[in-house]
Amino acid sequence: MGRIDTPTKATLRIATKVRKSLLATANAAHDKAGASNAQIAIPMSAGVDSHCALFTQLALGHNPKVFSFHLKGTLSRDFLIAKRTAAEFGLDFVEVVLPNDVDTLIADVKALGELGARSKTDFECFWPMHYLLPRIKKAGCKLLFTGHGADSLFCMSRKATQHYKGREDEFRDMAFSNKHAFQRHLIDATCSELGLTYSPIFYTKT
């Protein structure tokens, strides 16, 4: 195991502010959705952002259901880490298997286009959600939290680092006012149809 450096006072101040913002966002979503402890879903990968979404719920005393997906016949690292995390905290884990046959993939591309997907990123990033969101509904959940938006909040995207250095707030204003960012228009429309409340915990400028 590598060395873990002691955080500086400045880092701790920032971490405290971020934690406070995440908890406030989560509490507001709970109030809006009126979801019980058993009706919370966390779609997870192996990444830090989705783990933050989970840890926010655990900090509030909730025990959400963890969801993760993989292509049929392939257990990805993201899926395995998500499953391991759920087991570590004694949480229910729901596996979502994505199809890989050509006919289904062609039909899915057409369906996503009809939903409003336009860019390459829309098709790539929303396709798993196309299967995940109905599964969340089927599991009896009403509220889902994701780690979407972290790169924009912390200005870690290539666009932010190359073109908005020193103008980070300007970049955040642009990113979070864009209804198509993080495929939110597609997720919001699908969640509305399914009766789900979608809360990307980093989707805030505070």
Residue-wise pLDDT tens digits, 25-39: 898 888 888 887 779
Predicted confidence (pLDDT) at residue 201 exceeds the cutoff of 90? no
The CA distance from 34 to 31, in Å, is 5
Task: State the number of CA atoms in the 13 A half-sphere of 72 facing the CB.
Answer: 8
Average pLDDT of the chain is 90
Average pLDDT over residues 89-102: 98
Q: Residue 3 has what pLDDT?
A: 63
3-state secondary structure of 73: coil
Structure tokens at 146: 């994701």
Whether the model clears a pTM of 0.85, i.e. scores above it, the answer is: yes
Q: What pLDDT is attached to residue 177?
A: 82
